[in-house]
Amino acid sequence: MGLMKFFSCSILIFFLACGGETNPRNLFDIQIEGNRKQLQQGESVGVSIQNKKGKTIDHVSYFIDGKELPFQSGKIVLDIEKLGNKLLEAKIAYEGNSIAIDKKIKVLAKMPPEIYTYEVIQEYPHDIEAFTQGLEFHNDTLYEGTGSGKGRKSFLRKIDYRTGKVLQQTDLEKEYFGEGISILNDKVYQLTWQKRMGFIYDLSSLKRSDSFQYGESKEGWGLCNDGKKLYKSDGTEKIWILNPETLVEEGYIQTVTNKSIFNKANELEYVDGKIYANVWQKESMMIIDAKSGAIEGVINFGGLKKRVKQHDKLDVLNGVAYHPERGTFFVTGKNWDKLFEVRIKKKEDGDL
């Protein structure tokens, strides 16, 4: 290499290392009206480009999740489907060049969650030794998956919910802590907690037919399905969307209110476009829009735990299953001796 060529390359490397004009952030920055970092879905908000080097800007377009946002009179409209932590991207054309810059923002729900309560329709017996992690109905049979809490082995079982009688059961190996379950295409899917592995069973025999590994999700918590896709919670703000054939995590929603991003979704149940999610360690349940992640409602199950036998192993509310023929929900908890059939209703003035 000639001395001049070496010298020229050295200058270029130094220039780039010091953040020359090839670094878009040294040229432009996105400015949001009021320096806000939390915005609302559907909101119209003023944005501009800080032009640090006085370049001639020809055109600017704004994007979130690859979708171009409406932009008029210096304002963008946050017309996006999925909420949560986002990157607002600006694609800038200037002086024959084109670059992209971005800024981290939070896009939250438009409205606060509505408050719901419950009415107990019927009580049924439930295995007091079951550390419940997942519930789901298929036809009129209740399926339950449990964890290894309080010294009990994890299992998957079929139950006659009216009597509490166990119709069929498959135990997990002792190294696995069982978590949420869901039934789709004549298969039962069951998560494990921290082993980053799930299992697949034949619906009729409960014989294990396969297993699968998690992708980017952190752990296995709750599981449900919409008839086509599986939804998986992992203890973070994300609910992952899985292809039931490949078990690949193809995307996710984030659970948000109008004020914050929330990360406590545990056991899940899908009903009519909504995900009903137990709130970890709380006597409550969220109603989440399955497309946007907006928490549209919160169900207060306060007082239900007092209706079960009080004992040393008694743990939190967990487990929700919808019975489509009856149009009611069934809920229980870890080491509860009762399964409750409930009707969920909006809280009215005077409700406790």
- Indicate the residue type of 113: P
Q: Does one domain contain both 53 and 19?
A: yes
Q: Does one domain contain both 76 and 200?
A: no
DSSP for residue 8:
H
Q: Does one domain contain both 81 and 131?
A: no
Show which of 108, 129, 149 is a domain's final residue.
108
Adjacent-strand bridge partners of 230:
225, 242
Closest by Cα among 337, 339, 302 to 319: 339
In a domain, 338, yes or no: yes
- Cα–Cα distance, 47 to 54 (Å, whole number): 18
Spatial neighbors of 50 by CB under 8 A, at least 6 apart, are: 28, 29, 30, 31
Assign residue 276 the CATH number of its domain: 2.130.10.10
How distant, in Å, are the alpha carbons of 29, 51, 66, 223, 254 from that of 283?
45, 51, 38, 19, 21
Q: Which residue has the tokens 């171009």?
A: 68
Q: Which residue has the tokens 């309560």?
A: 117
Assign residue 69 the CATH number of its domain: 2.60.40.10
Inter-residue contact 171 to 148 (CB < 8 Å): no
DSSP states along 158-171: EEETTTTEEEEEEE
Q: Does one domain contain both 144 and 268?
A: yes
Q: Does one domain contain both 275 and 249?
A: yes
- The phi-psi region of residue 95 (left if phi > 0; otherwise alpha if psi is between -120 and 50; otherwise beta) is left
Q: Does one domain contain both 275 and 148?
A: yes
In a domain, 9, yes or no: no
Give the residue numbers spanning the domain of 24. Answer: 15-108
In a domain, 286, yes or no: yes
pTM reported for the whole predicted model? 0.91
Inter-residue contact 49 to 28 (CB < 8 Å): yes
Q: Does one domain contain both 166 and 42?
A: no
CA atoms within 13 A on the CB side of 187: 21
59-111 confidence digits (pLDDT tens): 999 999 999 999 999 999 999 999 999 999 999 999 999 999 999 999 999 99
> How many angstroms from the chain centroid is the CA of residue 102?
24
Closest by Cα among 199, 238, 198, 192 to 216: 238
pLDDT of residue 350: 60
- Cα–Cα distance, 247 to 81 (Å, whole number): 23
Q: Which residue has the tokens 């439930």?
A: 126
Q: Does one domain contain both 147 and 216?
A: yes
Q: Does one domain contain both 203 and 326?
A: yes
Closest by Cα among 214, 174, 212, 223 to 194: 214
Domain count, the chain: 2
In a domain, 8, yes or no: no
- The phi-psi region of residue 151 (left if phi > 0; otherwise alpha if psi is between -120 and 50; otherwise beta) is left
Q: Does one domain contain both 67 and 193?
A: no
169-218 confidence digits (pLDDT tens): 999 999 999 999 999 999 999 999 999 999 999 999 999 999 999 999 99
Inter-residue contact 179 to 166 (CB < 8 Å): no
In a domain, 70, yes or no: yes
Closest by Cα among 267, 230, 269, 238 to 255: 238
pLDDT of residue 47: 98
Q: Does one domain contain both 90 and 120?
A: no
In a domain, 304, yes or no: yes
pLDDT of residue 21: 58
Q: Which residue has the tokens 């082995």?
A: 153
Cβ neighbours around 322 below 10 Å, total: 19
Strand, helix or coil for residue 194: coil
Closest by Cα among 115, 45, 82 to 345: 115
pLDDT less than 50: residues of the chain? 1, 3-20
In a domain, 238, yes or no: yes
In a domain, 7, yes or no: no
Please work out, in degrees rounded to the nearest 5, the angle formed at the alpha carbon of residue 14 by the alpha carbons of 12 and 20. 75
Show which of 63, 78, 108 is a domain's final residue.
108
Show which of 81, 108, 135 is a domain's final residue.
108
Q: Does one domain contain both 96 and 121?
A: no
Strands 223-225 and 208-213, sheet pairing = unpaired
pLDDT of residue 150: 65
